[in-house]
Amino acid sequence: MATSRREFIRISALGSAGLIWGSYLLKAASDSVAAAGKAMPWLNPSDLKITPTYCEVCFWKCAGWVHKDDKGEIWKITGNEKDLNCNGRFCPRGTGGVGQYHDTDRLKTPLIRTEARGKQTFREASWDEALQYIADKMAKIKAEHGPECTALFTHGSGGKYFTRLLKAYGSVNVAAPSYAQCRGPREVAFYATFGRGLDSPENTDIRDTRCLVLIGSHIGENMHNNQVQEMSDSIDKKATIITVDPRFSTAASKSKYWLPIKPATDLALLLSWMNVIISEELYDKPYVEKNTFGFEQLKAHVAPFTPEWAYGITTLEPELIRKTAREMAAAAPAVIIHPGRHVTWYGDDTQRLRAVAILNAILGSWGRRGGYYMPEAPVVPDIELPPFPVPTKNWRMALRGKYALADLALANGLCDATIPTPDLDCSIKGWIVNGTNLMETLPDRKNTMKAIENLDLLVVVDTMPMEITGWADVVLPECTYLERYDSLRDTHHREPAIALRMPATNPKYDTKPAFWMARELAKKMGLVQYFPYETLEEELDHELQQMGTSLKEMQQLGVKNLEKTENLYFAEGEDIVFDTPSGKIELYSSTFADAGFDPIPVYTPHPEPPEGFYRLNYGRAPMHTFTRTVNNPNLHDLMEENNLWVHPKTAKINGLTNGQEVWLENQDGIVSSSSIKVRVTERIRWDSVYMVHGFGNKSSKLSRAHGRGVSDNELITNVMMDPIMGGTGMRGNFVRFLTSKSEESAL
């Protein structure tokens, strides 16, 4: 039953097409305000030739302008000059975002499953019917199990409104896979060290740096827009780039030093760099003395970790380790050991990122020009709402006392809590999945499918028929970011800034924005008091008025940079109180010690590939973020499938040639559903292979993405849990090559 459910949507019977969206949304605000006897104090999209937005093609959220032609059709997107995330320039995939609007594979109308669970049959439904179905099921779950037995998985701006709905209903089980599957370990590590996390965009002062160290971070392939621009400028200004990567990435090609490290040994290198910097007295003595806690313990701890020790582990020459450590120290404090973003690799990731934080600290880069600046976020005032009910159970209880330092809900934890066990008196029974394809974002998809089998309700909100959509009981089609208002973007940066996203045009098909869906559901669930404004325009205008601006002004500006009230850098000799137990930068973490974890990072070896297998590494390409972009007609033209990087020596041993199609089998005997073309290249170590993430999608409703290349996620079945915060380490998976799908498994 489970496997048949993975196939995709068949519309068995056509139901009512439901409400025709037409110009409802765009008129709603004026109707609502007109009903109150006032003139609409903001503009209609039809009044504007260019409309402000912020990009949703990746998480960087660059602000830009949507241009329309003379007929009012969406034509192109350009960057907003005032926006610090993009400095007026969109990256190629952001420019291709208009393809999302034109993609004819989009979800077009609400869908309800028509047959027993486990079957793949849907029918079209009206919005009223689909929302009533959800409201009734949610009421049943509340009555039978309690409201806490529901969870929201979310990625994207609409999450704010579904979060509000879920809290009003009585659950705080809200998780974004971007935490435990991506950047959570670095947030916990930097918080424990400096008393503040990094968030997005990171506060790295690349613009003024003299030395940038990238450890498995692919700036340039991962389009962190302003970071890419700043890195390019810093190279022009002769900054030293040091790239640590088993692959000769684009960043490596721009680097003075490429350190092709043996995978899974990065922590040994970091400890060894500290050894050199401390033993040669290259650290920032006044800064360390004034601002840090635990230096003597750190010094004693790293004393044995010489470059010769690290050589045996990392395969990097001792002289190269020494030379690069000295380069960093020579540039300090204008040096950045970059924290990376997707850091869930080997299960000891929080400790690896602690080592990154400590290395920055002893070089004095935190709070210094060319290191890490001190950002400030704008304060978007909350609207007044009735108090939320206090749940009797929450996501932390579902962790059964593990992962004590997780500060946000774990998507994998909520997934696990959905599978009934004797020690949990209430397994989760209902999921709302907003804008995240859990089949690709959560590792171990067998586990995800097992959890789904135990649900009473699975609602998927998305713009596209992703693989997760095929598992839903109800599918709610969201309009694209080019057709809707969303919550204000409130990013911190060198200056705090807000940005507006508004519709450039009416939504296509029978699709709607998240705010509308959440509010209509709230009405049906008796919770509309948590959505006091009938339209998002009214709510946004209220928020903006309290910030001294208005929706009308933001429609014309797009971005408003606010005044910074704190200094960007620490002043010389300034007494800083850090938000840590000691009030200092904690080289020795008392938080970790109190929680029973190593207060200073300790290197532990990780499993090696079995004979005949190679470590599976994955990353991004500049034109794609995930499956949604793979199906985007504009971006698909730029890269239509991924390929597998294989070193010539490995290719020779395995008899592979350039362009040959292979299937991959992992250490647990899982064989890829589709094949992938081999790319023989010296740009990868012989013991590893590499592919771009987001391909190999199984949804047959995605006419361009379906079956193109291989999904890395499908082969990630060994998940190494981070004991500190529950991150899912995903780089301990190994593959071998099969030249035909029927080739006998070695396992």
Which residues contact ligand SF4 by CB under 6 A? 55, 57-58, 60-62, 86, 90-91, 93-94, 223, 225
Nearer to ligand SF4, 365 or 629 (CB): 629
Longest dimension (CA), the chain: 78
At residue 122, what are phi and psi to the nearest 5 degrees? -125, 160
C-beta closer to ligand SF4: residue 59 or 257: 59
Specify which residues 52 forms β-bridges with. 65
Q: Which of 94/503 has CB closer to ligand SF4? A: 94
Token pair in block for residue 239 = 């900054």
User: Phi/psi at 229 (nearest 5 deg)?
Assistant: -60, -45
* Min CB(61)–ligand SF4 separation in Å: 5
Task: Count other C-beta atoms under 10 Å from residue 18's C-beta.
Answer: 17
Measured from the CB atom, is 61 or 698 closer to ligand SF4?
A: 61
- Closest separation in Å from C-beta 247 to ligand SF4: 21
What does the alpha-carbon distance between residue 551 and residue 30 come to, in Å, rounded to a whole number?
13
Instruction: CB nearer to ligand SF4: give 57 or 536.
Output: 57
Report the alpha-carbon distance of residue 709 to residue 45 in Å, rounded: 40
Contact 673, 714 (CB under 8 A): yes
In the DSSP assignment, the letter for residue 422 is T
Query: In the bound complex, what is the minimum distance in angstroms from residue 647's beta carbon to ligand SF4?
Result: 31
- The closest residue (CB) to ligand SF4 is 94
Contact by Cβ (8 Å): 450, 419: yes
Q: Give me the long-range contacts of 678-681 (CB less than 8 A, separation at least 24).
A: 678/643, 678/644, 678/646, 678/651, 678/737, 679/643, 679/644, 679/645, 679/646, 680/646, 680/647, 680/648, 680/651, 680/656, 681/645, 681/646, 681/647, 681/648
> Toward ligand SF4, which CB reaches closer, 83 or 586?
83
Closer Cβ to ligand SF4, 61 or 352, answer by number: 61
The least CB distance from residue 228 to ligand SF4, in Å, is 8
- Nearest approach in angstroms of CB 94 to ligand SF4 is 2
| CB burial readout 187-210, b (16+ within 10 A) else e | bbbbbbbbbbbbebbbbbbbbbbb
Residue type, 517: M
Nearer to ligand SF4, 50 or 547 (CB): 50
In the complex, the smallest distance separating the C-beta of residue 389 from ligand SF4, rounded to whole angstroms, is 36
Shortest distance (Å) from residue 101 CB to ligand SF4 = 14
Distance of alpha carbon 629 from alpha carbon 319, whole angstroms: 43
Q: How far is CA 597 from the centre of its chain?
A: 26
**CB of 625 or CB of 660, closer to ligand SF4:** 625
Amino acid at 507: P
Give the separation between CA 634 and CA 636, rounded to whole angstroms.
Answer: 6
100 or 448, CB closer to ligand SF4? 100
| Kind plus residue range of the DSSP H or E element containing 293 | strand 292-293
d(CA 414, CA 175): 8
Peptide bond into 45 cis (omega under 30): no
Cβ atoms of 322 and 259 closer than 8 Å? no
Nearer to ligand SF4, 61 or 354 (CB): 61
| Nearest distance, CB of residue 225 and ligand SF4, angstroms | 4
CB of 693 to ligand SF4, least distance (A): 15
Q: Give the shortest CB-499-to-ligand SF4 separation in angstroms.
A: 11
- Compare residues 229 and 654 and give the one whose CB is closer to ligand SF4: 229
| Shortest CB 209 distance to ligand SF4, Å | 20
Q: What is the CA radius of gyration of the chain?
A: 26
Strand partners, 63: 54
CB-neighbour burial class of residue 140 (10 A; exposed 0-12, middle 13-18, buried 19+): middle
Which residue is associated with the tokens 């402000």? 52
> Does 599 sit behind a cis peptide bond, omega within 30 degrees of 0 on the bond before it?
no
Residue 730 tokens, joined: 């995903």
- 95 or 173: CB nearest ligand SF4: 95
Q: How far is the CB of 480 from ligand SF4 (least distance, A)?
A: 13
The pair of structure tokens assigned to 31 is: 């109707």
Bridge partner residues of 664 (DSSP): 737
Instruction: Please report how close the Cβ of residue 211 comes to ligand SF4 at its closest, in angstroms.
Output: 24
